[in-house]
Amino acid sequence: MAGLRIGFILGHPTLIKKLQPDYFQSSQLAVSVLSLNAAITSLTDEEHKTTCKQKNEAARNYTMDEMKKMGIQFIPSYTNFIFYPVKNYPGDYAGDMFEKHKIIMRSNKYSDGQWARVSVGTLDEMKQFIRVIGDPKNNMALR
């Protein structure tokens, strides 16, 4: 439930420690009563869980398949996001994706500017993402 800021993180203790100052101590990550109740309710709706999982899997697999066809490297994912390298991008990749293409991405400052993280959205949203990174004139795909 990304929109309501509900989730969890698993990782090596070194990574978690590196994330802590910026990631876990942010008031933006405080869980509201609304968010908590929505998360609990959504977990009791089996049809909703199945539908969400299927839609996420379809959009994620489409995105990874298209990235592979374009020769764009990425870390294979079973989650709701995909990492891909942007270490040679000359500037603020996430900022430019928003300014130039209105695609919102998480800042890549946590990966020392080496990786971009795109959240898996709807299939239509991921098709738009693929159009942007697939167009050579955009210079947003670093092959």
Better-predicted residue by pLDDT, 48 or 6 = 48
Go through the domains of the chain in sequence order and give each one's CATH number.
11-138 (3.90.1150.10)
- Cβ atoms of 90 and 142 within 8 Å: the answer is no
CA nearest to 111, candidates 94, 131, 127: 94
Reduced to 3 states (helix: H, G, I; strand: E, B; else coil), residue 115 is: strand
pTM: 0.76
The sign of the dihedral angle between the CA atoms of 110, 116, 120, 122 is positive
Reduced to 3 states (helix: H, G, I; strand: E, B; else coil), residue 85 is: strand
Question: pLDDT-based confidence at 25, cuts 50/70/90?
Answer: low
Question: pLDDT-based confidence at 26, cuts 50/70/90?
Answer: low
CA nearest to 60, candidates 7, 117, 109, 141: 117
Question: pLDDT-based confidence at 62, cuts 50/70/90?
Answer: very high
Residue given tokens 């959240």 in the structure block: 119
